[in-house]
Amino acid sequence: MTRPTNPFRYFNSSPEVIRLVVMRYVRFPLSLRNVEDLLFERGIDICHETVRLWWNRFGPLFAADIRRQRVSRMQGVRHWRWHVDEVFVKINGEQHYLWRALDHESEILESFVTRKRDKSAALKFLKKTLKRYGRAEAIVTAGLRSYPAAMRKLGNLDRGEMGRWLNNRAENAHLPFRRRERAMLRFRRMKSLQKFVSVHAGFHNHFNSERHLVDRQTYKIRRSAALAEWQSFAA
């Protein structure tokens, strides 16, 4: 068997520093220069453009490792309920739409950016999610008419649910992204937005220890396990 190529082979910095930089920028609502200043306090002298280069190069790589492990574990798990919602996003003054699907435990399954929010966009988004994660017993949606039209096309209209407060889980899931959007001063290209939301969703899932649902000791154990697993990505 051939040995996998080391993704850090052309970089002088250690993999630990690169992982730290990428995690700080993607996980927390910090700008490129905020990350530069925080690392300088720890004795790590890098430019903010280096932060940009590293997250663009290694962010998708780390997120792919996270997604690969979580998808393989979730394929044998019963999918009780999905929550699907869309949110407005401005790109160079033009309105786009970010579609997001979550499971019953607030795990972000899929993030998808489109120019419109019609039946075609909803159908493409649902097909992509169903292909990767399988069938769900119920799909909770907002009042947008594109959802029933797309689900009728897929033949699962009977599994759709719609209500005034039923989809609060999906609506609250947009808040971490909104904080990152403000820190990044919005986005300039649709491609870069799609790239970032995919990476951000993977990081959010990995480091989400459900702090509000468990006691302090359990939270510390989960946090330590997440950090230990993080150090093994792209190793």
DSSP E strand stretches across the chain:
81-91, 94-102, 108-114, 138-141, 160-162
Contacts of 46 (CB under 8 A, 6+ apart): 13, 21, 36, 39
| DSSP per-residue letters across 23-34 | HHHHHTT--HHH
The structure tokens listed for 131 are: 């292909």
Helix (H, G, I), strand (E, B) or coil at 119: helix
Buried (b) or exposed (e) across 72-103, using 16+ Cβ within 10 A?
Answer: eebeeeebebbbbbbbebebeeeebbbbbbbb
What is the CATH class of 81-188?
alpha beta
> Over the chain (235 residues), what is each successive 10-residue block's mean pLDDT?
71 90 93 94 93 94 87 69 92 92 88 94 93 87 91 91 85 88 87 93 89 88 90 75
CA pseudo-torsion sign 222, 224, 228, 233: positive
Calculate the alpha carbon distances from 8 to 16, 57, 215, 216, 233 in Å.
10, 10, 38, 36, 12
3-state SS assignment for residue 77: coil
**Rounded to two decimals, what is the model's pTM?**
0.85
The token pair that represents 24 in the structure block: 């700080």
The pLDDT of residue 86 is 92
Domain ranges of the chain: 1-77+196-235, 81-188
Q: What's the burial of 217, exposed, middle or buried (CB within 10 Å: 0-12/13-18/19+)? A: exposed
Residue with tokens 């190529």: 5
Cβ contacts of residue 40 below 8 Å, gap of 6+? none
Q: What is the pLDDT of residue 210?
A: 81
In this prediction, residue 74 carries a pLDDT of 67
The pLDDT, as a whole number, for residue 139 is 92
Contact status, residue 163 vs residue 12, Cβ threshold 8 Å? no
pLDDT of residue 208: 87
- At residue 33, the pLDDT reads 94
